Structure 1
Amino acid sequence: MKIRAITAFSTNVEKNTINELEEKLNEIKIDTLTKRISLPETPKNLDLGKLLDLINNNDIIYSLVSLRQNDPRLSQIKDILSSSERVYANILIKNDDIDNAVKLLTKLEPSEASRFALLINDEFLMTPYFPTSTSNVLRNSFALSLLYVKDIIEGKGIISLQKADEIGKKIQKCTNLKYLGIDISLSPWKEESVGEIIERKSNKIFSRGNIWAVGELNKLIFSLAWNAKVTPIGYSETMLPVGEDYVLTKRVEEGSLNLSQLIGMTFACAAGLDMIGIEENEELYKNIIKDSIAIQFTKRRPYGIRIIPSRGEEKIYIKEFGIIPTIKVV
């Protein structure tokens, strides 16, 4: 088990508070892939450029912008994302008035798109997972996300969650930040592949039985959390970010996993359509989002969308992630 992220949640959008959280995160000596700060919903009438004044030159990454779908400042998001590779943004989608969000998405370069997401939900989401992270706390707090695919395969899931929970409690004691819990989502990173687990439970992706396998993984991780006595927050579901999972990437590249099939698996309780190249087409994007709205309404669970616009490439390269394949739309 590895701590994937230690994410601090800020009570406000003020320089002093952000500085304090940066100092506390930098004091934590526990090994983690990233340290993060998530800000509250962006205050109304605040120019987004002002948010850049809040962050300092360090290795921390920031969920800096959280806007609702009709906010006139959507047009500023591209400039914010292009200003720094440590900045992330999300838009809350609650209905099918999505024209402005789609127009923004089609303008993003690959690295910018990898740090931008649409969240379909009733409200913003408190999760350590970026880009769809928004703080909503009365006291400065934090939560953890994990990389524990290998432990699940080896039957060590409960032990991993217990160890992570102990780490969270130690961090609370040394920082005085409130420990909110763990987003127990089963998420991949390259060779630690969720796709591999799905194929072990059913057949090669995509085959009949894969959707069942995704649902079974969700039952499993909730059972592990219950037995480990940890507090789940955020998505806490199986995640299928294609560009972060070598098996999913391979299946897209060989053509055995197409867009319809991937969306079908998200219906069975994966957290959303994530880190996948899709040909740049406004009408296609609108229809994908509308279908996702219907799925979210049925699931009654948060649903994230992170699309990397493809402009004729079969493969898209992003420095932070490597190769992102473009999926067949059929």
Structure 2
Amino acid sequence: MVFMRPVVRSVTYFAPLVKELSELEMVLDRAATLLEEAGKALESRGYSVFSKRVSLPQNELGLPKVLELVDKTGAISRGVLVSVGSQPIRKADLEDVAHVLVNGMYASLLFDYERPIDASKTASTVIHRVSEVDPVAGTRLAIGFHERPLETPYFPDSTSSGVEGIGLSFLYPEYLRRLAESGASVSRAFDKLGEEVDSVVHLVKGVTGLRVVVDYSLSPWKDNSVVRLMEAIGYYARKPGFHFGVMTLNAEIRRIATSSGLASGFNEVMLPYAEDDSLVRLGSRGALTAYDLLSYTSVCVAGPDMIVVPWSVDDLEMFILDTYSVSLVKARPAALRVIPVTREPTETVDLGKFGRIPVIPYYPRR
């Protein structure tokens, strides 16, 4: 049997810290060149590149000016995803944050651990405000549950450390599933993945001359489904044992991430609702809730992600507090991405590249 290669989910340029807009313009031009060269090199070796991204560090240049410069360079129009990085929720200019989101950039707000109730109210209000203007813009905002910015190729909760480099992530549920169905153990399948990742890292280092880090998180895209992989190894969503299955996969991710010395970011199983066709099918039948996904977070999912829920500022405020509570006990970086809409459960909303996604309730209806 000929096996597919894992997809390079993203090649992300981590921008250096600059003090002038003119310097940032040069940085963005350099990013475009390096991403193009890396992409061509990977494709010449048989790897498919899903997306190219630029993650900016926290800076004092002002978000509107950064947006204007990104527009000038044409990065977004060329298909490059751009994150302006994390902003502390109690210090951020929320109007500026909303403005960059609506205009195509990504951002995250760092949760305030000292004032969780106030922070949850602010976060819920901002999320609703952005989603009201455009639900697709809501997909570009995360609430980060970690005290310091996180350098990861996974958006929206991505902030460059300010040291130039490249971040890689991989799309590999189907790759693992095929290995498992051919008789490979889960551990052997992850060993094979690690070999592929090492090859990609070596190639990208050679092309760019930069440091390279990897977020080994297992995440889906549509039919390249984490849930489908879980089923192949005997664990089914919404049935007993699924939490254990998530934990089992997470242990393997941690093993290869730790041994590599390259890990940066979340390095966890991810179950973004709107990005996994198997989860979306459950949502369309009314068989999945936001609290189901939060419960999986307790055993090492990186956070409740891409959840489309009914419009309710109060319910989301409480859900944010519950997510904060789980992340605090878990003591691992987590992120939340929720899109509230004026629809009822099982009704759908158009989320652009994600397709038409069914709304799920926060908790089971009586």
Name the TM-score, length of structure 2 as normaliser: 0.84
CA distance in 2 between counterparts of 1:64 and 1:280 reads: 27
User: Cα distance, 1:146 vs. partner?
Assistant: 0.1
Gap regions ≥5 residues in structure 1: none
CA distance in 1 between counterparts of 2:218 and 2:146 reads: 20
CA distance in 1 between counterparts of 2:293 and 2:204 reads: 37
CA distance in 1 between counterparts of 2:230 and 2:300 reads: 13
**Partner of residue 263 from structure 1, selected from 268, 275, 294:** 294
User: Cα distance, 1:161 vs. partner?
Assistant: 2.5
The equivalent of 2:29 in structure 1 is: 19
Structure in which a larger fraction of residues adopt strand: 1
CA distance in 1 between counterparts of 2:360 and 2:247 reads: 23
1:92 partner letter: L
CA distance in 1 between counterparts of 2:235 and 2:216 reads: 25
The answer to whether the 8 A contact 2:173-2:225 is kept is yes
1:326 corresponds to 2:359: yes
- 1:62-90 deviation line (CA, Å, top 9, x unaligned): 11242111124112222212223xx1111
Matches within 5 A, 1:67-216: 67-84=87-104, 87-95=105-113, 96=116, 97-98=118-119, 99-108=121-130, 109-138=134-163, 140-153=164-177, 154=179, 155=184, 156-179=189-212, 181-216=213-248
1:161 partner letter: G
User: Cα distance, 1:262 vs. partner?
Assistant: 1.5
The answer to whether the 8 A contact 2:174-2:229 is kept is no
CA distance in 1 between counterparts of 2:257 and 2:126 reads: 38
Name the TM-score, length of structure 1 as normaliser: 0.92
- 1:270-309 deviation line (CA, Å, top 9, x unaligned): 0001011011211111111111111111111111111111
Number of positions where the alignment pairs a residue of Structure 1 with one of Structure 2: 323
1:59 corresponds to 2:79: yes
CA distance in 1 between counterparts of 2:196 and 2:228 reads: 24
Gap regions ≥5 residues in structure 2: 1-5, 19-23, 44-48
In structure 2, the CA distance between the partners of 1:195 and 1:125, relative to structure 1 (3 Å rule), is: same
**What's the Cα RMSD here?**
1.8
2:247 partner letter: G
Matches within 5 A, 1:244-283: 244-283=275-314
CA distance in 1 between counterparts of 2:56 and 2:203 reads: 23
CA distance in 1 between counterparts of 2:92 and 2:15 reads: 24
**Range with greater deviation from structure 2 (73-82 or 275-284):** 73-82
**Range with greater deviation from structure 2 (148-157 or 208-217):** 148-157
CA distance in 2 between counterparts of 1:262 and 1:71 reads: 30
CA distance in 2 between counterparts of 1:260 and 1:266 reads: 10
SS in 1 for 2:214: strand
1:310 corresponds to 2:341: yes
CA distance in 1 between counterparts of 2:227 and 2:244 reads: 13
The answer to whether the 8 A contact 1:161-1:230 is kept is no
1:41 corresponds to 2:61: no
1:54 partner letter: L
User: Cα distance, 1:103 vs. partner?
Assistant: 1.2
SS in 1 for 2:361: coil
CA distance in 1 between counterparts of 2:90 and 2:256 reads: 39
SS in 1 for 2:143: strand
SS in 2 for 1:112: helix
SS in 1 for 2:50: strand
The answer to whether the 8 A contact 2:90-2:112 is kept is no
CA distance in 2 between counterparts of 1:35 and 1:63 reads: 12
The equivalent of 1:10 in structure 2 is: 15
